[in-house]
Amino acid sequence: MKNIVPHYDIEQRFTFVITTELSVRNIACWITMGIFNLSILLKNTLMPILANAGSGRRTMMNHPLIETGVYMRLRYLIPLAVVMLPSLATADNCEIAVSAADGMAYDSRSINVPASCETFTVNFEHKGRLPKGGMGHNWVLTKSADVNDVAKAGSDAGIANDFLPEDDSRVIAATPLLGGGEKASVSFKTAELSTEDSYTFFCSFPGHWAMMRGSLQLVN
Ligand SMILES: [Cu+2]
């Protein structure tokens, strides 16, 4: 499953595994998706526009773009493009962009870290507007088995410590706690990870970590 780029997932319905591997299989997958989208676009939107062109007077409401439902169809492609572009931009790279807004969710649910990278960097951005004290987010990486204990210790540590226990060896990597509009990067050595273990990234802000999390794995 780790090499399949667009994929269906029981829990998330439809998501993308962001992969850094430019394998033949991945590239073929993107090309297939592109041809599929183009054929849908041609059949459902461009053909009706051509058929309608020149017929009748045009007002705002009978403009072919609105009449043929182009907007209604394209609006599904817009989020798709938003998801696809960053994953392509980070292809074959030892870094990834992750963001969150004023909700308890990251834009990534699964991250593959290539074992070929010596270090891996996460460029984290809080794209929301709410302050750190109300809707702060960080990006914390631990073994999946350690998430609950580290998060609880983080709550006790308080916002002065970015809701993380001080000098805790279970924390593999962590950004500072960010408020809306802030960015931070964190790097870690891939030698600290094992392909045998499962890792989880999460936000240690109290009440966030139960939902605001994703999986991370080291892949060969
Ligand atoms: Cu958060």
pLDDT tens figures, 130-149: 999 999 999 999 999 999 99
Distance 57 CA to ligand 1 centre (A): 52
Is pLDDT above 80 for 71? no
- pLDDT above 90 as % of the chain: 58
Closest CA relative to residue 109, chosen from 27, 9, 3: 9
Is pLDDT above 60 for 19? no
Is pLDDT above 70 for 67? no
Distance 116 CA to ligand 1 centre (A): 30
Mean pLDDT lowest for which of 60-69, 104-113, 132-141? 60-69
Would you say 105 and 139 are in contact if contact means Cβ atoms under 8 Å apart?
no
Distance 177 CA to ligand 1 centre (A): 8
Closest CA relative to residue 26, chosen from 42, 11, 5, 47: 5
Is pLDDT above 50 for 1? no
Task: Give dist(CA 116, CA 219) in Å, integer.
Answer: 9
Q: What is the mean pLDDT of the chain?
A: 79
pLDDT attached to residue 105: 97
Confidence of residue 191 (pLDDT cuts 50, 70, 90): very high
> Which protein residues have a CB closer than 5 Å to ligand 1 (ion)?
137, 203, 205, 208, 212
Task: Give dist(CA 33, CA 27) in Å, integer.
Answer: 10
Structure tokens, 176: 């500072």
For residue 146, give every residue at least 6 positions away whose Cβ sits within 8 Å of its Cβ, in sequence order, or none.
170
Q: Per the confidence metrics, is the pTM higher than 0.85?
A: no
3-state secondary structure at position 202: strand
Other CB atoms closer than 10 Å to residue 27's CB: what's the count? 13
